[in-house]
């Protein structure tokens, strides 16, 4: 997720662009850059790191000109570096992009054949060359039509803005799957990824929809669909204050990121699930070379929420790849003289890629000759750099300390890995593989449905339970780790003591805790252990326990004993963790809001624990 801005009008473009990028820095901060156009000359400044570095590179003089584009990067392809920073240039064309071009490798090869020299590691650069090449063909319609022609060559997601010295005063922008909002001013226009970048200048905004592009010249905005059909859309007025706008209108980043999960899961699967062959393609694993072929067991190591995804990963790897899989905490692994060697694939899971304990585990495994695969959300982070191969999640920056979209994208990456290894080893059950490949592409839609269908009921439940001191979360099998995750979410943002337990374990101790003051949250999908879990709940109910049940198919018996039943859609039982996690995130969020805690920055916690 990157931040893009564009401006054309009478102001100093570099000032408008820098202000806009500052309001979008939460979307990415690996590197930044701007380009302006004056007297037929394109000027570019780029800098690695935060925007302060770009501001320093601009100096007091800056870049003059009343038209320009700017970008703050969250790396997806290519490490953070000046060479990979946007804007990217091809001759007299300069471009910025937010998204993922899935077919950029073959486009690079095609362009090389046409004599274009590719100088960055990014997918974006190919778009600037394609548009330059199209303009060189001299067809009518200039930059607008050249951009339209190029869009048909691209596969993937993009919000792009392009400028050429051949048409001073004109910007062209196009949208597919990642956001573009246009700001309407008096004789001036603005382009941005998100509203916060515009509010200082205008509150009249116009969102592009997927499959639309726009030509902007001064205060004139012309919008068409990719096939050229004119679009007539009236701007709307935005009333948000700037801080609310950064949260997309949500009260907290945490709620915004909970709602970003459908898109984050789509972006993590993008280009990796071949629907036609029902196969999962993970070229990232090629970096392991032939070491993968000698693997006899796996070990997944992580901390906190990532450790919960690792626990689900154990079920996934043993069910799909039929390979013994251990799980350990990052903080414990290196102290147990772990039995790992060149026949063990060590998988480390980390959103930040900077968790000291997880990094130490990676190093301990490499010392023992084990190949290491990282599942990480931050390109070029310490763990990503040290691992032998990296499978990136594409959740975008996760601002709230409590991990939500990072968690569900970690699960998504683990499912893709399990399916890929199961196919590669030939050990996956063919029916299970077909079921899961078909089901996983539906997950984003089902997550969206859960968010729409359950949020109000969960917010209401939170008011009933927010003043209790203890919670018990129960789950079985592949869903037991989700009970642990739900308990952690509640603990870390509402400060209520909560424990996750295997439902079958309750009678071996925790049942002593059950009374009318102990809400019990139970994950009870209609799977093979539904009946057994229902029996556990009867034990809870008979002792006065208050039950919140999350299920994909409640029967009368469950409804008769549960105080609240949250219904979610059905999916493959193997993929249920991806759906069950969502109501638990919402419950933790709304209980915390009821209790008035600092939801995005809970006490005592840090987003990334870089100390051991
Ligand atoms: C979870 O909500 C917390 N933010 C914390 O447990 C986190 O998952 C853990 O510190 C691991 O962080 P990482 O994924 O960046 O390695």
Nearest CA to ligand 1 atom 6: 304
pLDDT confidence of residue 76: 79
Rg (CA), the chain: 25
Average pLDDT over residues 36-64: 93
Q: Is the pLDDT of residue 249 over 90?
A: no
Number of H helices, E strands in the chain: 19, 27
Does residue 376 have an active-site annotation?
A: no
Q: What is the pLDDT of residues 424-475, one digit of tens each?
A: 999 999 999 999 999 999 999 999 999 999 999 999 999 999 999 999 999 9
pTM score: 0.84
> Which is the closest atom of ligand 1 to the Cα of 304?
6
User: Do 258-439 and 449-595 share a fold?
Assistant: yes
Does residue 2 have an active-site annotation?
A: yes
Q: Is the pLDDT of residue 116 over 80?
A: yes
> Which is the closest atom of ligand 1 to the Cα of 358?
16
CA 351 to ligand 1 center in whole angstroms: 7
Task: Copy the structure tokens of residue 450.
Answer: 């859960």
pLDDT confidence of residue 301: 98
CA 579 to ligand 1 center in whole angstroms: 20
CA 304 to ligand 1 center in whole angstroms: 5
Using CA atoms, how far apart are residues 324 and 65, in angstroms rounded to an integer? 62
CA 360 to ligand 1 center in whole angstroms: 15
Which one of the listed residues 50, 297, 386, 607 is annotated catalytic? 607
Fold assignment, 258-439: Rossmann fold (3.40.50)
pLDDT confidence of residue 446: 98
CA 389 to ligand 1 center in whole angstroms: 21
- Mutation test of ligand 1: which of 306, 387, 604 has the most ligand atoms closer than 8 Å to its C-beta? 306
- Mutation test of ligand 1: which of 258, 302, 304 has the most ligand atoms closer than 8 Å to its C-beta? 304
Average pLDDT over residues 74-91: 90
Helix (H) or strand (E) holding 431: helix 430-440
pLDDT confidence of residue 83: 92
Token pair 């246009």: residue: 182
pLDDT confidence of residue 469: 94
Homologous superfamily in CATH for domain 3-242: Aminohydrolase, N-terminal nucleophile (Ntn) domain (3.60.20.10)
CA 526 to ligand 1 center in whole angstroms: 30
Phi–psi pair at 18, nearest 5 degrees: -65, -45
CA 582 to ligand 1 center in whole angstroms: 17
Q: Is the pLDDT of residue 388 over 80?
A: yes
> Which is the closest atom of ligand 1 to the Cα of 303?
11
Q: State the CB neighbour count (10 A cutoff) for residue 102.
A: 15
Q: What is the pLDDT of residues 550-607, one digit of tens each?
A: 999 999 999 999 999 999 999 999 999 999 999 999 999 999 999 999 999 888 887 7
Nearest CA to ligand 1 atom 9: 304
Q: How confident is the model at residue 608 (pLDDT cuts 50, 70, 90)?
A: confident
Q: How confident is the model at residue 612 (pLDDT cuts 50, 70, 90)?
A: confident
Q: Where are the domains of the chain?
A: 3-242, 258-439, 449-595
CA 402 to ligand 1 center in whole angstroms: 7
What share of the chain in percent tops pLDDT 90?
87
**b/e 3-27 (16+ beta carbons within 10 angstroms → b):** bbbbbbbeebbbebbbebbbbbbbb
Q: What is the pLDDT of residues 261-311, one digit of tens each?
A: 999 999 999 999 987 788 899 999 999 999 999 999 999 999 999 999 999
Q: What is the pLDDT of residues 202-242, one digit of tens each?
A: 999 999 999 999 999 999 999 999 999 999 999 988 877 77
pLDDT confidence of residue 607: 73
Q: Is 224 exposed, middle or buried (0-12, 13-18, 19+ CB in 10 A)?
A: middle
Which one of the listed residues 2, 303, 376, 436 is annotated catalytic? 2
CA distances to 115, 203, 321 from 181, rounded to whole Å, are 35, 11, 44
CA distances to 514, 539, 557 from 543, rounded to whole Å, are 6, 7, 17
Q: Is the pLDDT of residue 197 over 90?
A: yes
> Which is the closest atom of ligand 1 to the Cα of 489?
2
- Mutation test of ligand 1: which of 333, 399, 484, 609 has the most ligand atoms closer than 8 Å to its C-beta? 609
CATH architecture label of 449-595 = 3-Layer(aba) Sandwich (3.40)
Nearest to 305 by CA among 399, 374, 391, 401: 401
CA 440 to ligand 1 center in whole angstroms: 24
Compute, in degrees rounded to 10, the torsion defined by CA atoms 539, 545, 546, 552: -20
Q: What is the pLDDT of residues 490-549, one digit of tens each?
A: 999 999 999 999 999 998 999 999 999 999 999 999 999 999 999 999 999 999 999 999
Nearest to 219 by CA among 4, 10, 39: 10
**Distance separating the N- and C-terminal Cα atoms of the chain:** 30
Residues with CB under 6 A from ligand 1: 303-306, 350-352, 355, 358, 401-403, 492, 608-609
> Which is the closest atom of ligand 1 to the Cα of 402?
2
Using CA atoms, how far apart are residues 538 and 531, in angstroms rounded to an integer? 11
Is omega for the bond preceding 87 within 30 degrees of 0, making it cis? yes
pLDDT confidence of residue 34: 98
What does the mean pLDDT of the chain come to?
A: 94
Task: Copy the structure tokens of residue 550.
Answer: 């999350």
- Residue partners of 443: CB distance under 8 A and separation at least 6: 265, 412, 571, 575, 578, 579
Nearest CA to ligand 1 atom 7: 304
Spell out the alpha helix ranges (H) of 247-303.
253-259, 261-269
- Mutation test of ligand 1: which of 303, 349, 485, 604 has the most ligand atoms closer than 8 Å to its C-beta? 303
């Amino acid at each position: 997720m990157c931040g893009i801005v564009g401006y054309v009008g009478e102001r100093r473009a570099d000032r408008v662009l820098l202000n806009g990028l500052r309001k979008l820095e939460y979307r990415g901060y690996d590197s930044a850059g701007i380009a302006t156009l004056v007297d037929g000359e394109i000027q570019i400044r780029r800098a690695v790191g935060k925007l302060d570095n770009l501001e320093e590179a601009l100096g007091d003089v800056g870049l003059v000109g009343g038209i320009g584009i700017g970008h703050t990067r969250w790396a997806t392809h290519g490490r953070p570096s000046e060479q990979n920073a946007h804007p990217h240039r091809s001759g007299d064309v300069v471009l910025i992009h937010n998204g993922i071009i899935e077919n950029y490798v073959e486009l690079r090869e095609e362009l090389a054949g046409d004599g274009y020299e590719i100088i960055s590691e990014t997918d974006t650069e190919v778009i600037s060359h394609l548009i330059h090449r199209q303009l060189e063909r001299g067809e009518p319609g200039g930059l607008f039509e050249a951009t339209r022609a190029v869009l048909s060559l691209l596969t993937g997601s993009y919000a792009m803005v392009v400028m050429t010295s051949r048409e001073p005063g004109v910007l062209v922008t196009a949208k597919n799957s990642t956001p573009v909002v246009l700001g309407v001013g008096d004789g001036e226009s603005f382009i941005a990824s998100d509203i916060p970048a515009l509010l200082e200048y205008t509150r009249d905004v116009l969102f592009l929809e997927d499959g639309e592009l726009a030509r902007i010249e001064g205060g004139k905005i012309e919008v068409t669909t990719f096939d050229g059909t004119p679009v007539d859309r009236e701007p709307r007025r935005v009333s948000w204050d700037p801080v609310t706008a950064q949260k997309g209108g949500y009260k907290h980043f945490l709620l915004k990121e909970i709602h970003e999960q459908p898109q984050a899961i789509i972006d993590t699967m993008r280009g990796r699930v071949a629907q036609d062959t029902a196969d999962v393609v993970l070229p990232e694993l090629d970096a392991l070379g032939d070491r993968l072929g000698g693997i006899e067991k796996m070990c997944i190591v992580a901390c906190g929420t990532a450790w919960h995804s690792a626990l689900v990963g154990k079920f996934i790897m043993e069910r799909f790849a039929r390979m013994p899989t251990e799980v350990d905490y990052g903080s414990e692994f290196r102290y147990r003289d772990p039995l790992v060697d060149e026949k063990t694939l060590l998988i480390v899971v980390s959103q930040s890629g900077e968790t000291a304990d997880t990094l130490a585990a990676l190093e301990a495994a490499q010392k023992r000759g084990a190949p290491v695969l990282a599942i990480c959300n931050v390109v070029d982070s310490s763990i990503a750099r040290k691992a032998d191969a990296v499978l990136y999640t594409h959740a975008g920056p996760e601002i709230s300390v409590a991990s939500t979209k990072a968690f569900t994208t970690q699960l998504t990456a683990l499912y893709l890995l399990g399916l890929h290894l199961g196919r590669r080893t030939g050990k996956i059950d063919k029916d299970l593989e077909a079921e899961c490949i078909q089901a996983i592409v539906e997950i984003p839609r089902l997550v969206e449905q859960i968010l729409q269908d359950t949020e109000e009921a969960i917010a209401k439940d939170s008011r009933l339970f927010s003043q209790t001191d203890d919670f018990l979360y129960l789950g079985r099998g592949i869903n037991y780790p989700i009970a642990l995750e739900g308990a952690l979410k509640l603990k870390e943002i509402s400060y209520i003591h909560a424990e996750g337990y295997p439902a079958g374990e309750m009678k071996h101790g925790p049942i002593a805790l059950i009374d009318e003051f102990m809400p019990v949250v139970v994950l009870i999908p209609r799977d093979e252990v539904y009946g057994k879990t229902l029996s556990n709940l009867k034990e809870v109910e008979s002792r006065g326990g208050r039950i919140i049940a999350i299920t994909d198919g409640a029967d009368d018996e469950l409804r008769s004993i549960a105080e609240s039943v949250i219904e979610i859609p059905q999916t493959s039982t193997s993929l249920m963790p991806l759906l069950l996690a969502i109501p638990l995130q919402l419950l933790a969020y709304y209980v915390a809001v009821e209790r008035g805690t600092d939801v995005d920055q809970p006490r005592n916690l840090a987003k990334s624990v870089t100390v051991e």
